[in-house]
């Protein structure tokens, strides 16, 4: 894919409920470090870009200093290949509002015990695969209707999920939901959000109850990276044309490999290592990071 070089190689992207108040001070901070374009509003009063020639790290730091005391997501993105052609997204606590395994644990009266293991795994304190086996093992004997109840009662799309997926698809991107969770949920969430493909682990059952086992091999951190790599190669894309988003330690490899890797309301380990982070806003923020304006976003 060819592209026309931008006069400014980077853009500062600002998303905030206080964007109007931030626009002037942030542009002044950016301009103090080098040539800066005028403010380009993506969402009136909520999101804007400033293209610039300065050093990305210094510009981001100066903009964040100018925004001290106000809640804002401030990131620097490359101008080249800004609108991505592949989206790889984590599911639990990223596309949906909960951790499905923890909600199954709640049905079994084991949520505090299992959620504590989940938290440690997502923070990168323990390995994902043995942590998953341990948690699933504790659910042995849980009736299968508990999965239906969790899906119906607990699983909700996070704000902006449909808009993110549908807008990217409408602009030619391929979309894939990848999860260390379970196909029972990814199959349904993929349909609800509009993803074209999904992959996850398979819970084993005896027809009425969970057996406490998960099909091997377990899909975790490396499987997510492999999904990104294989889809990028198969579609003849450059990694610069890819976007990966997640919140936990098992998402970090794909986030770091993607052209735009986004930590979404993420654990500290992930937020600190990602190229971009959304801590305040919703999933539409990933569209603003790509330069989409409100009038280009596909809503329900």
In tens, the pLDDT along 279-297 reads: 999 999 999 999 999 999 9
Last residue of some domain: 58, 80, 102? 80
| Number of structural domains the chain divides into | 2
The closest of 64, 130, 122 to 263, measured between CA atoms, is 122
Same domain as 123, residue 52? no
Give residue 3's pLDDT. 45
Which domain covers residue 28, as residue numbers? 1-80
Is 145 annotated as catalytic?
no
Q: Find where tokens 């997502």 sit.
A: 122
In tens, the pLDDT along 99-108 reads: 999 999 999 9
Could you give the CA distance from residue 130 to residue 152 in angstroms, rounded to a whole number?
A: 28
Q: Which pLDDT band, with edges at 50, 70 and 90, does 1 fall under?
A: very low
Q: Where are the alpha helices (DSSP H) in the chain?
A: 19-31, 56-66, 100-107, 111-122, 128-138, 145-153, 161-170, 183-193, 221-234, 252-257, 268-273, 285-289
Mean pLDDT taken over the chain: 96
CB 179 within 8 A of CB 193: no
Same domain as 135, residue 27? no
Last residue of some domain: 27, 50, 80? 80
Same domain as 61, residue 94? no
Could you give the CA distance from residue 294 to residue 157 in angstroms, rounded to a whole number?
A: 20
0.85 exceeded by pTM = yes
CATH number of the domain enclosing 130? 3.40.50.1000
| Catalytic choice (37, 49, 92, 106) | 92
3-state secondary structure of 135: helix
Same domain as 115, residue 48? no
| Catalytic choice (49, 73, 90, 102) | 90
Same domain as 244, residue 171? yes
Last residue of some domain: 56, 80, 104? 80
Is 90 annotated as catalytic?
yes
Same domain as 139, residue 7? no
DSSP state of 218: P
CB 206 within 8 A of CB 140: no
């Amino acid at each position: 894919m060819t592209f026309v070089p931008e006069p400014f190689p980077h853009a500062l992207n600002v998303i905030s409920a206080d964007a109007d108040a931030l626009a002037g001070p942030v542009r002044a901070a950016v301009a103090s470090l080098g040539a800066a374009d005028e403010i380009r509003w993506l969402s009136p009063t909520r999101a804007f870009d400033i293209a610039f020639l300065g050093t990305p790290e210094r510009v981001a730091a100066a903009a964040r200093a100018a925004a001290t005391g106000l809640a804002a997501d401030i990131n620097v993105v490359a101008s080249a290949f800004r609108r991505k052609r592949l989206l790889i997204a984590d599911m639990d606590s990223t596309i949906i509002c909960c951790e499905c395994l923890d909600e199954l644990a709640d049905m079994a009266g084991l949520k505090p015990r299992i959620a504590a293991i989940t938290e440690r795994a997502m923070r990168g304190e323990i390995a994902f695969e043995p942590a998953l086996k341990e948690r699933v093992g504790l659910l042995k004997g849980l009736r299968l209707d508990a999965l239906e109840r969790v899906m119906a009662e607990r699983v909700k799309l996070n704000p902006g999920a449909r808009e993110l997926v549908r807008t990217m698809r409408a602009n030619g991107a391929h979309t894939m939901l990848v999860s260390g969770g379970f196909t029972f949920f990814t199959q349904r969430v993929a349909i609800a959000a509009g993803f074209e493909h999904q992959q996850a682990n398979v819970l084993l059952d005896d027809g009425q109850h969970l057996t406490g086992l998960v099909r091997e091999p377990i899909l975790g951190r490396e499987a997510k990276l492999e999904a990104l790599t294989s889809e990028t190669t198969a579609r003849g894309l450059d990694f610069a044309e890819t976007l990966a988003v997640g919140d936990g330690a098992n998402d970090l490899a794909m986030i770091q490999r993607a052209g735009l890797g986004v930590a979404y309301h993420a654990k500290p380990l992930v937020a600190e290592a990602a190229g971009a982070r959304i801590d305040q806003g919703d999933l539409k923020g990933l569209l603003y990071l790509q330069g989409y304006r409100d009038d280009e976003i596909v809503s329900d």
